[in-house]
Each structure stands twice: as C-alpha cells, then as structure tokens.
Structure 1
Amino acid sequence: MTDKTVIVGTGIAGVSAAAAMRAAGYEGVIELVGDEPELPYRRTTVSKEIVRGAKTPDEVRIKSADWYEKQDVTLRIGERVESIDDLDADQVLLATGGRARTFGELPPGVRTLRALADVDDVRAGIASGADLVVVGAGLIGSEIAASARELGCDVTLLETAPLPLARVLPPQLGQMYVDLHKAAGVELHTGVAVTGIEESDGLTVVRGDNGQSWSAPLVVLAVGMAPDTTLAEAAGLELDPAGGIVVDELGRTSREGVFAAGDVASMPNTLVGGRHRPEHWQHAQNHGTAVGKAMAGAGEPFDEVPWAWSDQYGHMLQLTGWPSAEHDVEIRGSLDDHDFTAYFLQDGVVRGAVGIGRPREIRAARIWVAERARFEEVA
C-alpha cells in the first residue's frame, strides 16, 4: 500500500515541506491543499511590490506551475479542509500559517493586506493617491505606509506603542523609524489605541483613545497575525497558550502522524529556553524544509536562529535572533546615516542583531547568537 501525505497550507512552509520530502526520497503520494484559489506565491511581496504594481502575481510564484507535476505533487487550491479526520492520509502536515487580526465586525472601508485576494481593493484605494489611514506601525504596517507614499497617497499611520516596532527595537532605533516616516511625509501618531472604526459621510473614521479621530476613504488594519489553529483545535492537538500548535524539535504535534510547520508552529527554543513562534518568511521556509525531511524519515532537530528583513523607503532592515527592547544594546555605525548594526545583549551574550546596510555583520551576528557568544569576545 502506497503511503500518503496531505499538507494543509500552500504557503512557503507547505511547499518547502513537499519539496524536501521528495528530495529526501519519499515515494508516497503528496497532496498539497490550500483554501486560496492561487498558485502558491511569496506572501512577503504583497505589502510591497504587489500592492505598488511593481510585480505581478505570476512573478512571485514560489514554484512554476509545472514544478508540481514534475515532482508528482497534487496541488489542490481553493479547497478548505474542515477536519483532519476527513483526510485519507498516513501523515498530515499543518502549515496553515495565520490570518490577519481584526477588530471584529468592521465597516466596508476597512481592509487587511495579507493575501493576494486583498490586493485589488487596497490598490484601488491608493492608486489614485487618495488619503489612507494605516492602523499598526509594525513591519507590515510600515511597509504599507511606505508603498502608499510611493504612490502619492497622504498617509496617516497609527500605533499603540510609544514608538514603531517597540517589541523588538530599543528607543533610539524606534525613533529612527519615526524620523524615516516623517521625512517621507507620513503623519505618524504613536501612543494611540483605536477605540472604534465607523462610516461617516462616505468616509471611514478611526477614533482613538486620546479623543482624536482620522478619516479616509480607506483604512488598512496591520495589527498582527493570529496563528490559524482551527484544525488543530478541532483535532484536540496541544496548543501553546501564547499561540500556535505545540511541536517538538522534529515538528511532531501531540497526535501521532500529525506535524506542524511554519508560522503556526510553536517550537522549543534550544538557545534561549522556552518556546518561540517566529513569524518570518525565511523561518517558515527553513522550518517547512526541516519538517518535510522528518516526515520522509530523514529528520534532524531544528534549532535555527531566525532571520528576517523589511524594506521601507529604500532602506532594508535586517534582523536576526531574538532582539528585545529590554536587552542592552551596542551600536556600530551611524543611525543618522542609516548604516549600522545594533547588537542586543543579555548579560553580555549576543541574543540578536538589527542592521541597515551591513548584511555581513548580520550574518556574523546570526552565528554568534547560535554559539551563545559573548559580545566582548567576538566583536
């Protein structure tokens, strides 16, 4: 009897797992199932090149259409899996990623921007250079604001925290992004919690807890991602209270034969302790590859140091490890010139790094994090 694997999720984690299984010699049936009616694509481009119209969806496919046939992977797009128990499979991989967080029921003028299906409405709203309000100044919200400014929109950017990217950047780096936004003409308001969004006179109005309100034809919510654990919950899998599906170092869940990979998986952090669930493209790709190998019987424990990037206003921010605003920070280079690396230290040990214009230093820092190196001994 031929083995059968069903991978639920057609993002980078799912596609990478399928590719890794074949590369590791798995000869069974592989079905790749996703609810988006699209050939798998690079989601990181949605808030940048795609929404600006700089690239088409066909230019950002993860694999060409004929790759799936050549690899004997059955691609089932536009299909929603209702239950793991309905799948006729020996193994199941949940690579379901996440969904954009929202504030519940919202008026028609509010959009999120996470999937290709979101692009047309957002692009139509910003292509004419109309006003735009973006709620959330994290990586995605900042990228949307930068893309809209490039198209000539008047952009208002709202953030609950005192500074952009406050969870991972110390104040001096957060202030650098304040300056970047303002220099580009973005109206940035920090320390504002949204209390309501409503329609009024043909516009969408966002109200803040400071008594102010902002209105525009279009409002884009960029307030984070919620891991899609719907199938896992229904199947009784162990979940992490902090979010995601609990897996071990090989991607195995609490149920035999069921694995999870990518943004939805909460995995052991062998370097700093506890669990972590990185929400980065590169991590999802590499974790999907590792779990695919494990499902093919060729797995090794996965303990990679995460790495990610964000492109805003022509400056590529790269980050690695687990930088925290609570860490001590050593900065090499110039924040004013947007040419620096900031090293994040905990009791002298390198835990992460953030930089602009210094990719070699970020690569080195990634190694230092993995080696638990002391900054004074390596820098």
Structure 2
Amino acid sequence: MTQSASQSSTFVIVGGGLAAAKAAEALRDNDFGGHITLFAAEDQLPYERPPLSKEFLAGKKALPDFTVHDGDWYRDHNIDLRPGTTITAINPADHTVTLPDDSTVAYDKLLLATGSAARRPPIPGSDADGVHYLRTIDNAVALRDILTEGASLAIVGAGWIGLEVAAGARERGVNVTVVESARLPLLGSLGPEVGEIFAQLHRDHGVDLRLNESVQEITVSDGRATGLRLGDGSTVAADAVLVAVGAAPNITLAEQAGLTITDGGVQVDAALRTSDPDIYAVGDIAAAQHPLLDARIRTEHWANALKQPATAVAGMLGKPAEYTELPYFFTDQYNLGMEYVGHAPEYHQVVFRGDVAKLEFVAFWLSAENQVLAGMNVNVWDVLDDIKTLIRSRAQVDPQHLADPQRSLASG
C-alpha cells in the first residue's frame, strides 16, 4: 500500500475487546494515516475479559483498571469509536458493513475481532432469574453482587471460567458446588494427570465437586433458580447458578459473508488473512495456520487478543508478517498461580519437575518421540522462556533429566 493510498483509506475494526483496541493502536503506531472506525457491540470502551473471572470478582480491580484505553486516547488518535453498535452484515463484494439502521460504512480493509459468547446449553430452567453467564462486564457485575458470605452458588462446568469463579467465590465465603460431566476438571485442556491436581485443589478449598455427572434441569421456584437437579436424581440447592460450559466463537457475520469457516472458527493463514484478501480475523474466532507447529489452531486466550493484531495490521498495510507466537494462557486459583505455553491436544506422557504436593512444579507434555509439546509452570516463575525454547527446538529430551530440578532445562 502506498503512502498516498494509506492516507485516503478506511480500515474498519469489528469488536469491542482487547484485540480490537490493540489493532487500532497498531495501525497508528505503524503510521497509518487513514480513517479508522471501530464498532463495539457493548456500550463500553474496549476492555480485557480475563479479569472478569479473576480480579474483578475478587474486588481487586474495577473496570477502568482493565479498560485498554480511555476515551481521550481514541479521540487523540483520531479513532472513530462507535460503542453500542452491532454490525449486522458484511458485504465483501462492495466492501461495506451494514449497521442496525441499514446504513452502510465502506472499508478498504476489514478486521474481525468479534470474540466469543458464553455457550447456552438447552438446560430446562436456564432462562430463569438467578441463572448467570460470564462474558461481559454486566454479567460480571450481576454475578459479583450475589457472591456474599454465606450465599450458595452452583456452577455447571469445571472449565477455566467455572473454576476461577469457584475459587473467587470460596475466598469470599460462598458455598460452592461444581458439576462437571467429564471425569475430571479441565480434561480437554490439560489431560487427566494435571486435571486431578485441579480437582484436589478445589476439594481442599471446600468446593463440592461433582464429576461424571449431568445436569437434568435448573430447578426454579416463582421464576427464580433454586439449584440443580442432577442425572443421578439428587439435587443441589443454591441461591444462584452459573452456567460455564465454554464459549462459542462469534462467527455468524463471517459465515453470512461467505468467508471460509473451519475448526469452529474463521479460517485464516499465518498472516491472519481470511479467504477474502481484504478481510483479516484475530482472537477467539481465528483458526490460524501456525508455521512452527504445522497445525491450524484456534484458541480462546488473552495472549492471542494481545499479540495477533500486530501481525494482522502488518498484513493490512501490505507488509509481510506471520503469527508465530506459541499458545499461552494463565490462571490464578487460591494459592495456585500458573502459566501454560504450547499445544498438546495429543501427547504421550506428562513429566513433572518439582514438588507437586506443595504446588511448586513444572509439568511437561511430551510426544512419543520425547519432544516437548507444552509446559506449565505452577508457582515457579523463572522458567517460561526455557519452556518456550524446548518447544521451539523440537529436540528430543531425556524425561529423567527433565524431571530432575538439579539439571538445567536448557540441556533438556
């Protein structure tokens, strides 16, 4: 793109989270002088999502603390920010997006950062008062207000959101029951070896963890949720219910626009370009080809929202770029703080290094060829770079050496 074309171009960003804000920031940081319009569905300045189930519920952060930029920043950087505006259609043929009043806005390049919505399974009673989902700041405010000492909360789902809310609720003196259909928490994310650690962690902190159990209905009295009825016929009484059974990527716009959809997301190449060369996608919705891992990956993690926009913006500006960051996420639950990096949907074994009982350890997911696919450091904070190096090297390691805290990780 020439400088003159850049100055007269219009770039449209659709999304109201971290990825959208970072994309606008990256455009200005790369001296894009054209028009930028950012459409955010929520009537808020773009903000980060992870604190909703972490520091916000714990009362440690307020919305301004995790709002990406204040209103003055958008004004000072000449960003046409339109909160509370939902795009109803993308029209690739004429390079426009349609607004709720059927008016259109033209674009030269379009970035989709539409994120995810909380999954809403067809559980009877799920539309009753007192049933909560957690995806927006309004959701978080409503949930926080009922997490008072002595109250009871039933959580459907032992994934990241469910467990983080359970930890925050217990620390506020709330009685918590978590119901999970799998045999362990986080089974799909971490496997049984580490899932067992999280199960014990929550039981040690007083959570009534019901595993291998289904929810038949959310019980209701006078229009308000009173708990759960489970598949074994038992009931769980609760003042409120949180349904936390995963996220659904917001890909309806992309589907209706005819963009290629794969792996539950919008298919993009390593430059985060969709099947339409003038449309890019980042964050939760992007099913991206990863050059290092030689796999198409879609993850719903904060790191993608933070870092992918810079790559997409480079492509939108006509510069070569590939997104090569390893998948990364983190959590803090009770006295367990951890970081996970890598990608191990299938693995041969998990090797532990350190003291698992004291929650001071590193776990490594290995392939059958003893290559490190992923690593997780728990309350050990000086090894993340070494873990990344092991993953990127694809070198064969000696599992016994890896498990020995006296040996350098750099040597495998």
- Give, in whole Å, the separation in 2 of the partners of 1:295 and 1:368: 32
Within the alignment, does 1:367 sit opposite 2:389 as a pair? yes
Deviations 1:22-49 (A, max 9, x none): 1122111111111111111121000111
- Give, in whole Å, the separation in 1 of the partners of 2:264 and 2:411: 35
| 2:64 counterpart residue number | 58
Aligned equivalent of 2:204, options 183, 203, 215: 183
> What residue identity is the alignment partner of 1:189?
R
Within the alignment, does 1:209 sit opposite 2:227 as a pair? no
- Give, in whole Å, the separation in 2 of the partners of 1:163 and 1:174: 6
SS of 1:50's partner is coil
SS of 1:108's partner is coil
* Contact 1:169/1:325, CA 8 A, preserved across alignment: no
> What residue identity is the alignment partner of 2:110?
V
| 1:246 counterpart residue number | 267
The offset of 1:125, in angstroms, is 1.5
| 1:235 counterpart residue number | 257
| 1:110 counterpart residue number | 131
The higher relative CO (CA closer than 8 Å, separation ≥ 6) is in 1
Aligned residues: 378
* Contact 1:107/1:198, CA 8 A, preserved across alignment: no
Within the alignment, does 1:88 sit opposite 2:94 as a pair? no
The offset of 1:99, in angstroms, is 0.3
Moved more, 368-377 or 49-58: 368-377
Bigger radius of gyration among the two: 2
* Contact 2:347/2:366, CA 8 A, preserved across alignment: no
Moved more, 220-229 or 271-280: 271-280
- Give, in whole Å, the separation in 2 of the partners of 1:54 and 1:359: 22
> What residue identity is the alignment partner of 2:389?
I
| 1:22 counterpart residue number | 28
SS of 1:27's partner is coil
TM-score (norm 2): 0.88
Q: Which runs of 5+ in 1 are unaligned?
A: none
Aligned equivalent of 1:129, options 132, 138, 150: 150
| 1:296 counterpart residue number | 317
SS of 2:54's partner is helix
Q: 1:1-379 to 2 correspondence within 5 Å?
A: 2-85=8-91, 86=98, 87-104=105-122, 106-200=127-221, 203-240=225-262, 242-324=263-345, 326-346=347-367, 347-376=369-398, 378-379=411-412
- Give, in whole Å, the separation in 1 of the partners of 2:36 and 2:150: 45
- Give, in whole Å, the separation in 2 of the partners of 1:196 and 1:234: 33
- Give, in whole Å, the separation in 2 of the partners of 1:165 and 1:117: 26
Moved more, 328-337 or 201-210: 201-210
TM-score (norm 1): 0.95
Q: Aligned residues: percent identity?
A: 35
* Contact 1:17/1:290, CA 8 A, preserved across alignment: no
- Give, in whole Å, the separation in 1 of the partners of 2:268 and 2:118: 23
* Contact 1:7/1:33, CA 8 A, preserved across alignment: yes
* Contact 1:165/1:174, CA 8 A, preserved across alignment: yes
Moved more, 356-365 or 242-251: 356-365
The offset of 1:171, in angstroms, is 2.6
The offset of 1:304, in angstroms, is 1.4
Moved more, 53-62 or 318-327: 318-327
Q: Which runs of 5+ in 2 are unaligned?
A: 92-97, 99-104, 399-409
RMSD across aligned positions (CA): 1.7
